Each structure stands twice: as structure tokens, then as C-alpha cells.
Amino acid sequence: MNKTIKKRILNIINHVTTVVLFLLLISMTFFVISSKASGGEPEVFGYQLKTVLSGSMEPGIKTGSIIAVKPGGDMTRFKPDDVITFMEEDGKLVTHRVTEVVASGESVMYRTKGDNNNAVDINPVLSENVVAEYEGFTIPYVGYFINFSQSKNGALLLLIPGFLLLGYAGITIWRAIREIDLPKENAKEEKSVV
């Protein structure tokens, strides 16, 4: 009875480990391929995943985090305390909080500030330069992983779960062979005793 319980528990652990490794392989494949295909951060369910590379929005958004931003819509709709992602003049994306909305004729500009910065940003942001709105979804430290996946060595991330899966398959096969050989060895020992 005790052996059957142990065997069932090991069987469940084997199945769970296999599923986890396959899910890891599939998710790594998704992140690497989608980031390579889009030429940037991947997009999931209409949200773009952006990597945070500075500490200007800490402690709310930590350096190395990924954030989900919602692109599109009317870019003149934002009000103070909204967090927006915008394109700076040098082509760099920045995510900061709106401190003031400045209407100038038909155009709308935003004064922005990083939560961790001492002063507002020097240049106001034109509504045409706003790319998306941050809606509060953050995963800490995963941005480092995504940043690496976009590099030339990013395809190596697919090898890690693949090697783990192969290693685990090897261990499972070895255990199965051992279980098959064990009854044969016991039978040989019984014949030699008789």
C-alpha cells in the first residue's frame, strides 16, 4: 500500500514537472518570437509590453520591470495623475505622470514628471507624441529578461527550457529502465538461490 502511494505521488510530480517545462518552453518561444517579429516589446491582448530601463517612476514602477500600456484612442483625453508613455525628440520612449494639461488652440500638451524625479520634465509633451496609457499592470524584473530576448543572444532563451526538458526526459527514461531491470534482477537472484 505504501509503495503504491509513493508511486502515485511520483507520477503526479512527473506530470506536473512535464507540464511546467512545456509551458516554460512555449512561453519562452512566444516572448522571443513576438519580440523579434515586432522589432520591440511583445503585444498581448491589445496591450504592449514595455521594458522600464530607468528609475524615474520608482517606487511604483521599478527599474527592470515590464509594464502593459494600452495604445490608441484619443491622445488628448488625459488629465493630471494619468500615466502616459510618449516619444521624446530623440526617439526614446518615456513613461511619466501627467502633472498639467496645457491647451493651446487646437493642440494639447502635457507637462509630465517621473514620480522619483525632483522636477517636472523640461519639455512639454505634444498629444501627437503620446503612444499609450499605462493602466497599472507591472511585473518587476521581467524587463531584464525581455531586454535580453531582444538582443542577438535572445534565441539562447529557447535552449534553456529545451535542455531542461531533455534532461528531465533522460531521467524519466532512466527510472523506467531501472524499474524494468529491477524485477529481472530479483528473478535471477531467486533462481540462483534455488
Which active-site residues does the annotation give?
Answer: 54
What is d(CA 94, CA 116) in angstroms, rounded to the nearest whole number? Answer: 13
Centre a 10 Å sphere on the Cβ of residue 148 and count the other Cβ atoms it contains.
14
Sequence-ordered alpha helix ranges (H) in the chain? 2-38, 142-149, 156-193
Q: In the block, which residue shows the cell 499609450?
A: 132
Burial class (CB in 10 A: 0-12, 13-18, 19+), 86: buried
| Bond prior to 80 in cis (omega within 30° of 0) | no
Burial class (CB in 10 A: 0-12, 13-18, 19+), 101: middle
Secondary structure of 133-168 in HEC code, one letter for each residue:
EEEEEEECCHHHHHHHHCCHHHHHHHHHHHHHHHHH
What is d(CA 161, CA 156) in angstroms, rounded to the nearest whole number? Answer: 10
